[in-house]
Amino acid sequence: MPEIQIGGLVPFTTIDYPGKLAAVLFLRGCPLRCAYCSNRHLLDLGDGEYDPEKVFDFLRARVGKLEAVVFSGGEALMQSDALIEYMRRVKDLGFAIGLHTNGFYPEQLQRASEIVDWVGLDFKTTRENYRALVGNDIAYDRMVACLDTWLKTGHGLEVRTTCDPHFVSKSDLLEIAKILAARGVKNFAVQKYVPHFDDERDATTAADREQFFNDTEYRNKINAMFDTVIWRE
């Protein structure tokens, strides 16, 4: 079996798994090429910078101090068997297992559902805008398949949309919220777009980025569709 390739580690976080102190592992490899990706150094499935056994020893030493380990990326599910095996070992230490995913691998997500307790799923934009944002024709349908797969498990779920004004308008976000509410999603997170690169050709303004957050009537309309909405600014 191939060894898991780990490209990054956050040893302590309070914001990446709801209600739990967690560590986050960033796995190498991603099938998408999002315009706003801030983890471009992780996109190729090359050798990980971290020795998986040393990371495992680190996690074992955190038993009783941390409550959860979150697998992020890149796209963690791209590493399929190596990921599942490693997750199982980490779960056996007693940690809750979280997964941040872009939703490109519904079959792998189904397999991981025996181990993973909570998922943060990216619903990046509308079907019409998906290809332009992520550079892939089939990503939207796969993401929706992942959403339905995970909803069936009844396990913890947060769906997130990052509001890059190049690809998400206020009416787009409303459309996404309606789709999610109709499918039975309870927890939605609206994330502010933070530009990571100089985009001199088509720069966004602070007002573009804040338009989703400073309209109380609009926020209330979305809040009313879910049990919880986190407005992550």
- Single residue of 24, 25, 27, 30 touching ligand SF4 by CB under 6 A: 30
- Single residue of 2, 12, 14, 33 touching ligand SF4 by CB under 6 A: 33
Query: Is the CB of 34 or the CB of 159 nearer to ligand SF4?
Result: 34
- CA-based diameter of the chain, in Å? 53
34 binds ligand SF4 (CB under 6 A): yes
120 binds ligand SF4 (CB under 6 A): no
**Neighbour tally for 31: CB within 10 Å:** 19
Minimum distance of ligand SF4 from residue 42's CB (angstroms)? 6
Neighbouring-strand partners of residue 50: 6
Using only C-alpha atoms, the chain has a radius of gyration, in whole angstroms, of 18
Minimum distance of ligand SF4 from residue 118's CB (angstroms)? 18
The two three-digit tokens of residue 80, written as one number: 């399929």
Helix axes 216-223, 170-183, angle to 10 degrees: 20
Region 63-102 residues binding ligand SF4, contact defined as CB under 6 A: 73-75, 102
Please name which of 174, 169, 82, 185 lies closest in space to residue 129, comparing C-alpha atoms.
169
Residues that bind ligand SF4 (CB under 6 A): 30, 32-34, 37, 39, 43, 73-75, 102
